[in-house]
């Protein structure tokens, strides 16, 4: 019995291939799938009773592309360039056999047809797509560090033109039905219940069993080749834009452009071999492995709550309480109401709580204006938020999130007042970004129910939530907190308690290094540019303005008070202190920080930086600054792993990418160390420590791991 494709020949002679991969919620392309498709093509080509073919799906979606779990396992074992080439060619050859089997082939596309799924459709002669909002087609391989390796870079440009095809592949966009028809990616739209009959009708009406590019006199729409003006312009502009966006840290966009450029100047079969060569280069390199491991496999497991303690019944928050209606509290209220959770938003004054609710109203109004929500839907969400200043309104909340000012005493008062009215079994979660949970739990009468749930700003856009386990936090509190995060459709990581936990602690090294560089006389423009060249989303000085220099200063002073004589200032603290105390430049929210924020025009670096921190005559290379900025974050992550703050390497990688924007091409901070190689990483840290100070010092534990070859992500 087939495990992936069901073959049925009806009386008029139409062979219907139903894709239905066993034991998978979605159809995926695996070696077994390719082998069975090859066998089906043999039957089709050699059976005179077969007049044509219709390919359909036996699942709610058509075909999601490659089996990334199987691919990830192969990548961890290691794939050579030649093996990558052969892997692409094996599937590409079968798709080409389908395209040239001599029988007309139509495909009925329901739901999603992505990556290899769309490539299979492109190898068919006629494409009918369900006219349904859930249906999408696209080639998103670039988002996992690869290119379409089963004909996508060759067939799509030949079908709709290079200028239209390249952006779809370089950006990995998914196209809705109407746009797919308009662009010519599909031939017809039909109601979901009619797509198979429409495809079958085309076959029986004498559909042409030949792709356009196999017909005499075919020319690529819009032109191709080194001497074609429009094609040359497309590649010149595309190359410039690509470099500006990726800084050449991501090899996939360049490989896509090269495969399209070279492949469209030769016959299709030659172009398919060129595509496979570039696919082999990408899949044998580290970027695809890192991105697939972290962005797909490990993130998927985190979304499924792989860290959830066993033995605790599943739960859902029926009513949520939020203490503090500032930026974070308002954002959490919006996310919770969007998830359908009745939410009580409390602040010291009703007007403050009302302003917190108004934040949701603004976001919902924008969604309505953009056509992403109806007015009725927006009103229903807004009705779920109840602003108040009365703690008694928390009486039936089964989970409370504290998001008040980052001050231990303020948080203690909020904890005591809330616990005096909430149910005994309710979970109390602090949204603190730095203060240790175990210390905050001292104000709680039920420390077993006390936990950290650290959201990231802006909450409506940031997918990550950091769950912090205190010394007395119970497994039930962990499990119920993770269930809540899943309700919000966000991605959790679980870490142990520590000052700054994991994300804030490591992110601080990035901003501290930027301020330290400034004090060293390094040009602020160079500092910011180096961060962007490394693919950080924003420079350390700009992000310090965003999160508030004043807040960082206040947190540091709180740490100094907590640690007493044991406190040691970070290398960039004096810059932070002067910005707040001497220059009264506290960050973007206050209208002035490392940048000026004019009422009109773009922000610009504060000219006063040159006066107070004059640039040195000789500036370091951009590569050296990139290295410093990335290494310091990765080294602090390794320290967190050594200390047990990080429980699993996968959580460190997920947290670093989705929490503060560590470059995705690295796979995350610990994948970055593994990719560099522990020996080289330790050597670079030793060099940097000698040149710039003990913050780059390597522990004996990490040095021993390097000596014994203990990577953070062992090969399976």
How confident is residue 446, by pLDDT bands cut at 50, 70 and 90? very high
For residue 25, the SS3 value is coil
Per-residue pLDDT at 715: 72
How confident is residue 317, by pLDDT bands cut at 50, 70 and 90? very high
Segment 340-399, tens digit of pLDDT: 999 999 999 999 999 999 999 999 999 999 998 999 999 999 999 999 999 999 999 999
Does the structure show a pLDDT above 80 at 239?
no
Does the structure show a pLDDT above 90 at 251?
yes
* Sign, CA torsion 343/300/377/173: positive
CA separation for the pair 541, 585 (Å, rounded): 12
Average pLDDT estimate for 627-656: 97
Buried b (16+ CB within 10 A) or exposed e, 258-292: bbbbbbbbeebeebbbbbbbbbbbbbbbbbbbbbb
CA separation for the pair 26, 589 (Å, rounded): 46
CA separation for the pair 85, 714 (Å, rounded): 25
Average pLDDT estimate for 583-604: 94
**Active site (catalytic) residues:** 454
Per-residue pLDDT at 242: 57
Q: Where in the chain is the domain with CATH 1.10.1040.50?
A: 504-644+648-708
Angle 440-444-450 (CA atoms, 0-180°, nearest 5)? 70
CA separation for the pair 413, 94 (Å, rounded): 68
Edge-first strand listing for the sheet containing 126-130: 5-9, 14-19, 52-57, 105-109, 126-130, 188-190
Q: Where in the chain is the domain with CATH 3.90.226.10?
A: 5-284
Q: In the CATH hierarchy, which top-level class contains the domain 320-499?
A: alpha beta
Strands 136-138 and 174-175, sheet pairing? antiparallel
CA separation for the pair 192, 189 (Å, rounded): 9
CA distances (Å), origin 86, targets 31, 274, 611: 12, 12, 60
Q: What is the CATH number of domain 504-644+648-708?
A: 1.10.1040.50
Of 3.30.420.40, 3.90.226.10, 3.30.420.10, 3.40.50.12280, which CATH number belongs to 5-284?
Answer: 3.90.226.10
Structural contact between residues 430 and 442, judged by C-beta atoms closer than 8 angstroms: no
Per-residue pLDDT at 485: 98
CA separation for the pair 399, 429 (Å, rounded): 7
Q: Where in the chain is the domain with CATH 3.40.50.720?
A: 320-499
Segment 531-554, tens digit of pLDDT: 999 999 999 999 999 989 998 998
Q: How far is CA 78 from the centre of its chain?
A: 24
Does the structure show a pLDDT above 60 at 226?
no
Per-residue pLDDT at 227: 52
Per-residue pLDDT at 229: 59
Per-residue pLDDT at 232: 54
Average pLDDT estimate for 214-231: 78
CA separation for the pair 315, 404 (Å, rounded): 26
Q: Report the mean per-residue pLDDT for the chain.
A: 94
pTM: 0.91
Helix (H) or strand (E) holding 394: none
Per-residue pLDDT at 500: 83
């Amino acid at each position: 019995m087939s495990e992936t494709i069901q073959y049925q020949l009806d009386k008029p002679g139409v062979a219907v291939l139903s894709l239905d991969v066993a034991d998978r919620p979605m159809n995926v392309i695996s070696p077994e799938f390719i082998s069975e498709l090859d066998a089906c093509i043999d039957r089709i080509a050699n059976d005179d009773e077969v007049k044509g073919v219709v390919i359909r799906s036996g699942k709610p979606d058509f075909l999601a592309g490659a089996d990334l779990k199987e691919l990830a396992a192969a990548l961890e074992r290691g794939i050579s360039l030649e093996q990558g080439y052969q892997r692409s060619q094996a599937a590409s050859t079968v798709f080409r056999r389908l395209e040239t089997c001599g029988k007309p082939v139509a495909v009925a596309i329901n739901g999603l047809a992505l990556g290899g799924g769309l490539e299979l459709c492109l190898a068919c002669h006629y494409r009918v797509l369900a006219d349904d909002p859930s249906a999408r087609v696209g080639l998103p391989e670039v988002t996992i560090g690869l290119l379409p390796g089963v004909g996508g870079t060759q067939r799509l440009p030949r079908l709709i033109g290079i200028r239209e095809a390249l952006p779809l592949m370089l950006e990995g966009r998914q196209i809705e039905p109407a746009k797919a028809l308009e662009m010519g990616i599909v031939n017809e739209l039909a109601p979901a219940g009619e797509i198979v009959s429409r495809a079958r009708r085309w076959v029986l009406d004498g559909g042409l069993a030949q792709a356009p590019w196999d017909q005499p006199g075919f020319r690529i729409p819009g032109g191709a080749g080194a001497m074609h003006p429009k094609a040359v312009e497309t590649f010149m502009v595309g190359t410039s834009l690509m470099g500006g966006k990726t800084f050449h840290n991501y090899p996939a966009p360049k490989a896509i452009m090269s495969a399209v450029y070279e492949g469209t100047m030769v016959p299709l079969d030659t172009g398919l071999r060129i595509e496979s060569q570039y696919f082999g280069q990408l899949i044998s390199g580290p970027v695809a492995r890192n991105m697939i491991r972290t962005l797909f496999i490990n993130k998927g497991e985190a979304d499924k709550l792989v860290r959830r303690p066993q033995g605790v019944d599943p739960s859902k928050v029926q009513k949520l309480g939020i203490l503090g209606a500032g930026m974070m509290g308002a954002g959490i209220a919006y996310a919770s109401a969007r998830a359908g959770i009745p939410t009580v938003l409390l602040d010291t004054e009703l007007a403050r709580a009302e302003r917190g609710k108004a934040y949701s109203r603004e976001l919902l109004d924008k969604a309505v204006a953009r056509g992403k929500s109806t007015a009725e839907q927006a009103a229903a969400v807004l009705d779920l938020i109840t602003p108040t200043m009365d703690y008694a309104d928390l009486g039936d909340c089964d989970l409370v999130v504290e998001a008040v000012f980052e001050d231990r005493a303020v948080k203690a008062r909020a904890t005591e007042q809330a616990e005096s009215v909430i149910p005994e079994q309710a979970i109390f979660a602090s949204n603190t970004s730095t203060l240790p949970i175990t210390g905050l739990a001292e104000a709680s009468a039920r420390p077993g129910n006390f936990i950290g749930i650290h959201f990231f700003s802006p909450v409506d856009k940031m997918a990550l939530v950091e769950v912090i386990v205190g010394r007395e936090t119970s497994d039930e509190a962990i499990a119920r907190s993770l269930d809540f995060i899943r309700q919000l459709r966000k991605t959790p990581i679980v870490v142990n308690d520590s000052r700054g936990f994991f994300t804030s602690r490591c992110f601080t090294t990035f901003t501290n290094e930027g301020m330290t560089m400034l004090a060293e006389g390094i040009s602020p423009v160079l500092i910011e540019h180096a961060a962007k060249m490394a693919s950080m989303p924003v420079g350390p000085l700009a992000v310090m303005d965003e999160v508030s220099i004043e807040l960082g200063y206040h947190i540091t002073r709180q740490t100094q008070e907590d640690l007493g004589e044991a406190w040691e200032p970070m290398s960039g603290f004096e810059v932070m202190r002067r910005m707040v105390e001497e220059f009264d430049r506290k960050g973007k929210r206050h209208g002035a920080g490392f940048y000026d924020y004019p009422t009109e025009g773009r922000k610009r670096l504060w000219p006063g930086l040159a006066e107070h921190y004059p640039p040195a005559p000789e500036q370091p290379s951009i590569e050296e600054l990139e290295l410093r900025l990335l290494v310091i974050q990765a080294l602090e992550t390794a320290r967190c792993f050594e200390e047990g703050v990080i429980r699993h390497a996968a959580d460190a990688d997920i947290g670093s990418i989705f929490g503060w924007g560590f470059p995705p091409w690295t796979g995350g901070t610990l994948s970055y160390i593994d990719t560099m190689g522990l020996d080289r990483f330790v050597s670079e840290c030793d060099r940097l420590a000698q040149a710039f100070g003990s913050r780059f010092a390597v522990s004996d534990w990490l040095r021993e791991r390097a000596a014994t070859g203990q990577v953070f992500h062992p090969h399976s």
